[in-house]
Structure 1
């Protein structure tokens, strides 16, 4: 059977690129733009016919394509030492997954009903695992048996897992064996945890040791197959949710050190899926490649869309170094991605193609020809150059791509254009947040000038801009209005769990979500993200960083007089401008340069800050200090520029209250910052070979 396309709305043959979103008459107010809606498809909500409003409808929509159709794929492990995977994917059918979700869901319902787990405000179930079929099966089970999923992941900080388990009162957690060990070690700090289910295969001896260890700390440990057997023996039919039933609490980084729990209802997730089915391009045997973390909302949304239409999902082997091998075996059609991955594809392709001699000349000719064609017509294919140049790049990801999406962080227009012509398929950049189910805007295929924007609002959303006078952005700016981007729609979250203060600060009484991002809306109705309202920014891999927090922590480092930390959303790491303490610098320089330098010796200090060894000494000290403070990897400073010019009121880089004026500081050191990023991120041999 073909895909279930009854809820998919196809792109028309001719897209109105000159009119992609339109202002709603009568909605403009002082200090705000009008409300903008999608010009092609209008505005949808939960009352619009023929849309999903609960997540169980999404799985049933895919299931109707046929129980024998392939659904969830994986590469079996052939040996553990050395680790070796099969050179083909094996598949669970829709019927297999239907049975398993019933077993798992029934088991969870029975355990909660008997009081063996639970006791909190919601029946929460934790998942701590890399992407794998069991992750999706468990999520589907919870969607269909009214349980609340809680994703656990350690990129929010070493204490985040402990905090989330306690905050959400999570009494049962599904985890891989590696994480199960961590959970058992955490037992004294997570007294609510009663049950751990190991979802990967372990030896009989290991299973016995886990069970005994769990018993000693008051936590029951089961294997996945044991839970399935228990559910099969206590089988009940799925439990119908309502649109307002809570489906998940998804934790995300915020302005404090504690993650915020975003409450996601069935309606908000289902309506996000419905909206993303407008213009979804997949063949009847379409395959999505799953490698972005399922703990994050972006990947979950993409997989829900594949589920909704009865598509296939192939999971990578879990090792970033095998990602290309996985892709070449799987041959996906849909590749959800992030700038960090696409940037590396671009860099590798340019390094391999832009070389001296005839080969480089042919590559540059192909590149220039296709870019010109893209910018004039929007066309991304070429009968000659695709065959003799770009097919090699396309084969890197299996050669069958029809849709590549980029989300979670900004990507440069140059790289977006290259990815479009290199893969010769639809490449779409979108914008969204956990709080909006990764949904808000999306660029249109065939738009010659879409790169650099995130497109118009999707059908489920309307957007507006609000003045940010403190940063000089107004909705009356010319040629385009600028201001804080605000979102409204049926996909927007309900509240932060147990956090009324942040909820009130984020959603107003009219239901508008304040994103914290500054945007402009261009003349054809596309959104372009240009700044942040607060000094919290997102790195290229999608991690939020509080720049002032890092500066405050490092300000206590004894060798520093001042520090300015800078992050670029097109880059994956932080850099800093360091003004050393003159006394400390003189001492360090005297030792490292082998000559006596005093704090008053300006020429000697100038020589010192230009010395690579002195620079490395300061960076090494900052790194060790940051590790001592418990900073996460993406919060660490990777490159520094040493300067003897302090930030001051006189050079307009300090406020009267002695706070650094970030825009002015960036302008003052613009060339130095660019030079630091031109050097690239310091990487290990292992990570330099990986796309992730």
Structure 2
């Protein structure tokens, strides 16, 4: 696109001429980039080396450099948000469901918003207040001992920690940090108190902005670690505190006893308003955030992400996805995770309103979707698997009716006619009125234009089914914390589901050999595809882990390529497919290699009975076992799928079924037959099927560390938790071989 300019002398957005502002408005209105080249990558001539595939770049940049910004005056997130204020100042920005004593459920059944101009003013006041809350604090550490003072904070910025569930105040605090070049980081409950202390000590963060319910935990954390957390001197509550309340005064005294000053957000904003501090806008090289990876093993590593990296990520997303129509989006993935940070940043860049669930927990997602009615939804495969299961369950419930047959026929027709060129050709007027409109409304997706999935591979059949039943586009992206989340994304109506699309315009990729897994990337296969470990490089890729030179050295090769640890396939059109993790494979005793994540996704998307699954195998055994999780819909679904099992075993409820299944081999065998019958379409080989299982009610949880905050399975932790159950399953032997299923 001709007006994607190279970096040159820039002018702040607020000071641009009317003509320049008009140019930027025209640029944003023209997104996504109107080029079919975006959908493919090309192999850079002469780039292949022994043990590596060629380097692939997006076809859009075939005759130029990688693109890291949309306009010379939009080089940082701070500048991008200020641009949104210029373009969309009166639009809704952040919305919350407010607490109301007079409402039955305690919260309004609508969102209350503040517009972009209001948030712009509040973030400046809050940022100044944060600075005063630390630098004017009586517990401040002397600069000679590693503390901070106003004279040097622009070159020696302290790090702000954010701690709490998704809410408007979280994003407001993040914007405030951007305004004053203050890096921030996030604490996770799911990482545990040890890790929170580790992050606070490592970063020497003097201030934590948190939900009120976290205050006592933080005071206790400081009390237990007085020396290592001596820099931690300020807590700012996102909730307004009633300082006339005795319990709050007691809390203040307890905080003071461990040398912590306790404020709330309102006080902090008033502090900044009364004593303004000149804004210090970040440079592209300024650290925006340090995102500690939840990881599936080991101690979290802090990924250092600059404004340049974050802006390159926004440039990629806007160029490939574009701007949805004016509307809202619901922030449901943890803001502490980089995926949701990218999504929320993108919404603010695009002038979309961010809304937030009134309470945490997956049970509150759909009720809030029904109120927010977002213009797009970004989530992880496990949520989409639940959507698929819920829709299929509603079609299975009770005796089959003419309406159910008609709905199923229309969905199947939509699936068959999915087309990259024409979208859902089967989604005609009858389909919209009888099927997709009602299903979308049941999930709160009335206004949804497209779905986006990432964080883990999703079964292509799930994408097909949801596109057919909801009548929307569905994009699958790929990314990591180390590249500020998404770095490539598929087309919304791609008929061939499973691809993550071409590499974006702000990075390049290649594959390396992984001989131990029998992947050799140096030569294309007969179909023109390459296989190997994915490596990334470019302006969207990070440079180092915070204070971890050892891990940084391991993450990059000598040519500066970041080694992702993901096994990928690049097809003849340069589209990326994620196959598995380098570490997530194992060999069975007969020598067969198994990739468990692929198998888990197939079972999750195929069986309406299964809500969670953890597949396990090792070189001492020749078959796979699993921990299978079910939810509250399991018993009713079972009655619909096979009522004879319920009758024969006199089952009364989900809990009763779980108890009897784990004690009765015949019942377990009958259920296993249903599970494996549902995956017949996937063509799994005999050794890839589950041969025995332990049944439990939602056994994998964020709270017990078997799931990451974005619901990825932590295999090492899951293996440890279910060690006894897995051993019992192996001792019980294969149930398939006994019956030759």
TM-score, scaled to structure 1: 0.78
| Contact 1:52/1:274 (8 A) holds in 2 | no
Matched with 2:545 is 496
Instruction: For residue 644 of structure 1, report the CA deviation from its aligned partner.
Output: 4.4
Cα distance change, pair 193–83 in 1 and its aligned pair in 2 (3 A): farther
Instruction: For residue 30 of structure 1, report the CA deviation from its aligned partner.
Output: 1.3
Cα distance change, pair 304–252 in 1 and its aligned pair in 2 (3 A): same
Query: Could you report, residue by residue, the CA deviation over 1:148-195 in whole angstroms, capped at 9, with x for unpaired residues?
Result: 111110223442211111111111001111111110111132333111
Matched with 2:57 is 37
Instruction: For residue 78 of structure 1, report the CA deviation from its aligned partner.
Output: 1.0
| Contact 2:519/2:531 (8 A) holds in 1 | yes
Alignment of 1:208-219 (within 5 A): 208-219=249-260
1:196 aligns with 2:235: yes
| Contact 2:506/2:538 (8 A) holds in 1 | yes
Matched with 2:406 is 362
Cα distance change, pair 255–406 in 1 and its aligned pair in 2 (3 A): closer
- Greater alpha carbon shift after TM alignment, 81-90 vs 128-137: 81-90
Give the 3-state SS of the residue equivalent to 2:196 in structure 1.
helix
Alignment of 1:141-152 (within 5 A): 141-152=176-187
Give the 3-state SS of the residue equivalent to 1:332 in structure 2.
coil
1:419 aligns with 2:463: no
Instruction: Select 1:433's aligned residue among 480, 484, 493.
Output: 480
Give distance in 1, aligned partners of 2:131 and 2:34.
Answer: 48
Alignment of 1:176-255 (within 5 A): 176-187=211-222, 188-189=224-225, 190-204=229-243, 205=245, 206-254=247-295
Matched with 1:574 is 614
Query: Could you report, residue by residue, the CA deviation over 1:555-586 in whole angstroms, capped at 9, with x for unpaired residues?
Result: xxxxxxxxx996556365424469999xxxxx
Cα distance change, pair 371–612 in 1 and its aligned pair in 2 (3 A): closer
Matched with 2:318 is 277
Instruction: For residue 397 of structure 1, report the CA deviation from its aligned partner.
Output: 1.8
Alignment of 1:89-100 (within 5 A): 89-100=111-122
Instruction: For residue 26 of structure 1, report the CA deviation from its aligned partner.
Output: 1.4
Give distance in 2, aligned partners of 1:670 and 1:338.
Answer: 32
Instruction: Select 2:446's aligned residue among 392, 399, 405.
Output: 399
Cα distance change, pair 370–50 in 1 and its aligned pair in 2 (3 A): farther
Instruction: Select 1:324's aligned residue among 350, 366, 388.
Output: 366
| Contact 1:73/1:92 (8 A) holds in 2 | yes
Instruction: For residue 52 of structure 1, report the CA deviation from its aligned partner.
Output: 3.4
| Contact 1:466/1:485 (8 A) holds in 2 | yes
Instruction: For residue 233 of structure 1, report the CA deviation from its aligned partner.
Output: 0.9
Query: Could you report, residue by residue, the CA deviation over 1:598-643 in whole angstroms, capped at 9, with x for unpaired residues?
Result: xxxxxxxxx99948899xxx999999xx99x986566335674723
1:513 aligns with 2:562: yes
Query: Could you report, residue by residue, the CA deviation over 1:411-450 in whole angstroms, capped at 9, with x for unpaired residues?
Result: 100011122223322221100000010022100133221x
Give distance in 1, aligned partners of 2:415 and 2:547.
Answer: 50
Give the 3-state SS of the residue equivalent to 2:319 in structure 1.
coil
Matched with 1:643 is 730
Give the 3-state SS of the residue equivalent to 2:106 in structure 1.
strand
Give distance in 2, aligned partners of 1:264 and 1:104.
Answer: 23
Give distance in 1, aligned partners of 2:74 and 2:557.
Answer: 26
Query: Could you report, residue by residue, the CA deviation over 1:527-572 in whole angstroms, capped at 9, with x for unpaired residues?
Result: 1111211248xxxxxxxxxx99xxxxxxxxxxxxxxx996556365
Give the 3-state SS of the residue equivalent to 1:528 in structure 2.
strand
| Contact 1:32/1:466 (8 A) holds in 2 | yes
Give distance in 2, aligned partners of 1:81 and 1:202.
Answer: 21
Give distance in 2, aligned partners of 1:88 and 1:644.
Answer: 54
Cα distance change, pair 630–338 in 1 and its aligned pair in 2 (3 A): closer
Matched with 2:166 is 131
| Contact 2:569/2:577 (8 A) holds in 1 | yes
Give the 3-state SS of the residue equivalent to 2:201 in structure 1.
helix
| Contact 1:281/1:403 (8 A) holds in 2 | no
- Greater alpha carbon shift after TM alignment, 310-319 vs 163-172: 310-319
Give distance in 1, aligned partners of 2:483 and 2:341.
Answer: 13
Matched with 2:515 is 469
Give the 3-state SS of the residue equivalent to 1:137 in structure 2.
helix
Matched with 1:526 is 575
Matched with 2:393 is 351
Instruction: For residue 222 of structure 1, report the CA deviation from its aligned partner.
Output: 0.7
Instruction: For residue 96 of structure 1, report the CA deviation from its aligned partner.
Output: 1.5
Matched with 1:168 is 203
Give the 3-state SS of the residue equivalent to 1:84 in structure 2.
coil
1:140 aligns with 2:175: yes
Give distance in 1, aligned partners of 2:386 and 2:350.
Answer: 31
Cα distance change, pair 12–194 in 1 and its aligned pair in 2 (3 A): closer
Give distance in 2, aligned partners of 1:247 and 1:6.
Answer: 25
- Indicate the RMSD between aligned Cα atoms, in angstroms: 3.7
| Contact 1:197/1:224 (8 A) holds in 2 | yes
Query: Could you report, residue by residue, the CA deviation over 1:205-261 in whole angstroms, capped at 9, with x for unpaired residues?
Result: 143222112012221111111111111111123212111111111101347531101
| Contact 1:261/1:497 (8 A) holds in 2 | yes
Cα distance change, pair 418–301 in 1 and its aligned pair in 2 (3 A): same
Instruction: For residue 53 of structure 1, report the CA deviation from its aligned partner.
Output: 2.1
| Contact 1:282/1:333 (8 A) holds in 2 | no
Instruction: For residue 81 of structure 1, report the CA deviation from its aligned partner.
Output: 9.4
Matched with 1:10 is 31
Matched with 1:297 is 338
| Contact 2:290/2:304 (8 A) holds in 1 | yes
Give distance in 1, aligned partners of 2:464 and 2:704.
Answer: 39
Instruction: Select 1:25's aligned residue among 12, 28, 45.
Output: 45
Give distance in 2, aligned partners of 1:16 and 1:113.
Answer: 51
| Contact 1:38/1:456 (8 A) holds in 2 | yes
Give the 3-state SS of the residue equivalent to 2:534 in structure 1.
strand
Query: Could you report, residue by residue, the CA deviation over 1:66-91 in whole angstroms, capped at 9, with x for unpaired residues?
Result: 43321111111112996421121110
Cα distance change, pair 580–132 in 1 and its aligned pair in 2 (3 A): same
Alignment of 1:381-396 (within 5 A): 381-395=427-441, 396=443
1:55 aligns with 2:104: no
Matched with 2:501 is 455
Instruction: For residue 368 of structure 1, report the CA deviation from its aligned partner.
Output: 1.6
Matched with 2:191 is 156
Instruction: Select 1:408's aligned residue among 455, 479, 485.
Output: 455
Q: How many residues align?
A: 596
Cα distance change, pair 350–608 in 1 and its aligned pair in 2 (3 A): closer
Instruction: For residue 202 of structure 1, report the CA deviation from its aligned partner.
Output: 3.9
Cα distance change, pair 336–215 in 1 and its aligned pair in 2 (3 A): same
| Contact 1:394/1:423 (8 A) holds in 2 | yes
Give distance in 2, aligned partners of 1:210 and 1:383.
Answer: 60
Contiguous gaps of at least 5 residues in structure 1: 537-546, 549-563, 582-606, 647-668, 677-692
Contiguous gaps of at least 5 residues in structure 2: 1-20, 148-155, 588-593, 605-611, 622-661, 670-691, 708-712
